[in-house]
Copies of this chain bind each other. A is one copy, B any other.
Amino acid sequence: MKKITFILAASIFFACNPKEESTKTTLGLSSQEKVDSTNIKQLYNSALTDGQSYEWLRDLTSNIGGRLSGSPEAQQAVEWGEALMKEVGLDSVWLQPVMVPHWVRGEKEVANYTINGQKKNVPIAALGFSVATPKNGVTAEVIEVKSLEEAEKLGDQMKGKIVFFNRPFDNSLINTFQAYGGCVDQRVGGAAVCGKYGAKGVIVRSMTNGVDDYPHTGTMSYGDLPEEQYIPTAAISSRAANILSEDLKNNPTLQFYFKQSCETLPDAPSFNVVGEIRGSETPENIMVVGGHLDSWDLADGAHDDGTGIVQSLEVAYLFKKNNIKPKNTLRVVFFMNEENGTRGAKKYAELAKLNSENHIGGIESDAGGHTPRGFSIDANSSNTALLQSWKKLLSPYGLHDIDKGGSGADISPLKGETVTLVGYRPDSQRYFDYHHTTIDTFDKVNKRELELGSASMASLLYLMDKYLYSNTIVKP
């Protein structure tokens, strides 16, 4: 069997790193660390061979779909979440009532312009909280700008015009969230700046790294503007933005038309969904794990933030399945209304304060369900150092980036000197392909990547539960 042996050798030569994974996970560890390493390995084994999150996500995205705050689907998602937490067998499950903004998109938006006798339809989507256009839409000349500052300088020149914000992502940034952070002010603040000077509308290049045909919606704010200065604003696909920009060079006076019928209704009742495994030793100390249950309306909110929801619950599932009884209370929270208001986050923090709850830490997953990269830590230096000391336990699972940074919009209101808040950080490369568009759907989620995320979060919480509180209380 010489030939077989040769071919096998070639295949396996390539396939296998000679350093076995089992060796890699325990090399150079103390005996205590070996115990932790074994337990962490077991959490990963469970997630990868018996994880439930993928089927939960299929159910949420396929049978409920988009679930914007205040919508019937958001209410269905609340009921779904409550039932699922009970099914997983959490010690207690309850709903926290919260009033949420209730913005509705209305009819599908329309936009177009004519150049050289050719009518071009433009993919747009109203931004969350935007007002409608007049019933027959808005038509005006377009002024292209690259920043809020540039718009502000235009002042009265924008009166009667449509202002077009077209600063693209800086694709040279490795972390795509940095590129997002460098552009999103246009989407959030564009209409407030331009409404002040009497612009007729604002269109904003979609927040994405690529050139595609999807308008990426998202929240905006009119700030302190009086209501009569509110102007309609929409996202335009990145490809359409490129084409419009070219067309404006050839015809600076082209007439852009758009129409949208969105509106903000009175606040609606909704809920955070909360469940917990009661701590076995110090149940008064609480660790939170969560994501947000609401999503934008355009698609199914698979990566944003269906993955965070199912991963958070899977953490509790993995603890139970592996008979890990946390010393502190492990609380799973499905936050409502992250996308347009973070009312759920504020309500949760408000009630925590009201009830004098002692939160010692938390993890939020709201950066997509892609392959794990690490965690971003918002904590005092002592606790930050503690978490970073676990790198050798976590790096075999691809968790190398354990850096100081923000946690997430839903848990950050819990911030305090002795509270250790963590943002789960999966690979960011694909996130803005789907973000806030019609293609944020279940098929974009890979089962193993999702499960590795659950296991990563569970592993960090296992360590936080074991070591954090004692570290926290000795801190001056």
Interface residues of A (CB under 8 A from B): 1-5, 7-8, 10-19, 21, 44-45, 48-49, 171-178, 180-181, 184-185, 188-189, 192, 209-210, 219, 221-224, 342, 366, 371, 373, 376, 395-398, 400-401, 403-406, 408-409, 412, 423, 427, 429-430, 433, 446-449, 452
Contact = CB atoms under 8 A, between A and B. Distances in A.
A449 B423 contact: no
A60 B395 CA distance: 36
B10 A342 contact: yes
8 contacts: A7-B219, A8-B184, A8-B185, A14-B409, A15-B180, A16-B178, A17-B406, A430-B446
Given A1-B223, A48-B172, 10 more contacts: A1-B224, A7-B219, A14-B423, A16-B181, A16-B405, A17-B177, A18-B405, A171-B448, A429-B449, A433-B446
A34 to B, nearest CB: 18
Given A2-B223, A48-B172, A427 B371 contact: yes
A175 B209 CA distance: 28
Contacts of A12: 181, 184-185
A180 B11 CA distance: 9
A406 B174 contact: no
A16 B408 CA distance: 11
Contact of A448 (B10, B44, B209, B406): B209
Could you say which of A1, A184, A396, A409 has the most chain B C-beta atoms within 10 Å of its C-beta? Answer: A1
A405 B17 contact: yes
A177 B16 CA distance: 6
B1 A192 contact: yes
Integer count of this chain's copies in the complex: 2
A1 B16 CA distance: 57
Contact of A403 (B5, B17, B371): B17
Given A209-B448, A427-B371, A408 B174 contact: no
Given A11-B181, A429-B448, A429-B452, A18 B175 contact: no
A16 B189 contact: no
Contact of A171 (B49, B192, B222, B376): B49
B4 A221 contact: yes
Given A15-B177, A221-B3, A8 B376 contact: no
A21 B224 contact: no
4 closest cross-chain pairs (CB), A and B:
A15-B181, A4-B223, A16-B181, A17-B405
A219 B10 CA distance: 11
Given A376-B17, A406-B13, A172 B44 contact: yes
A174 B366 contact: no
A153 B192 CA distance: 77
Nearest to A178: B16
A403 B27 CA distance: 14
A174 B44 contact: yes
A19, A181, A219 interface centre (most CB from chain B within 10 Å): A181
Given A21-B175, A447-B210, A366 B224 contact: no
Contacts of A412: 10, 13-14
B430 A173 contact: no
